Amino acid sequence: MKLSASAKTYSLIATLVLLGCILCSCGSSVPQTTPSPELSPTPTNTSVAPTLQPSPGRTDYVEVVYFHRTQRCYGCQYAGDTTEYTVETYFANELANGKLVFKMVDVQDKANASIAERYGAYGSSLFINEIVDGIDHIEPVTDIWYHLGDDEKFTQVVKDAIEKHLGNI
């Protein structure tokens, strides 16, 4: 099926407007709302320090890293909180034994410059790094942005991505 030139133009304009809205909203402050009870209201860890380190001597593990800017919009806050909830709820054993490491990192904090550069992060983004024999295998998880506000689907995307990488080590 061929799209006419005007349909392609309208599609491009709509995409650019949507992208502009997303970028503008990420620069505004997060409104004070009551968080849903199953999600924590704010991240517990916003520096480069992980919630857990891999077990001593472990060279194969999975690192889940959620990057955010200092000032976050609702969508960015939701993504961080829901990712944290998913990791802590469904992968507690892997966190405890060091097979999985979770980090929340502020990309605007100069102390985090090296990790942001290592991942190629510059704003809100989720990455899963399968580290095998000390070598990074970094993969962005972009599908989360299609499911903001849908706890079940968002959580499933994060769970599936983590399970895929845990299954490889």
pLDDT tens, position by position, 78-105: 999 999 999 999 999 999 989 999 999 9
Domain ranges of the chain: 41-166
- Burial of 66 by CB count in 10 Å (0-12 exposed, 13-18 middle, 19+ buried)? buried
Residue 118 predicted with pLDDT over 90: yes
> Could you write out the DSSP letters of every residue in 133-147?
TTB--EEE--GGGGG
Residue 15 predicted with pLDDT over 70: no
Residue 63 predicted with pLDDT over 60: yes
Three-state secondary structure call for residue 100: strand
pLDDT tens, position by position, 138-163: 999 999 999 999 999 999 999 999 99
Residue 97 tokens read as 């034994």
User: Which pTM does this prediction carry?
Assistant: 0.70
pLDDT of residue 50: 45
Give the CA count within 13 Å in the CB-facing half-sphere of 70.
5
Topology given in CATH for the domain delimited by 41-166:
Glutaredoxin (3.40.30)
Distance CA 102, CA 61 (A): 11
Residue 51 predicted with pLDDT over 60: no
* Distance, first Cα to last Cα, the chain: 43
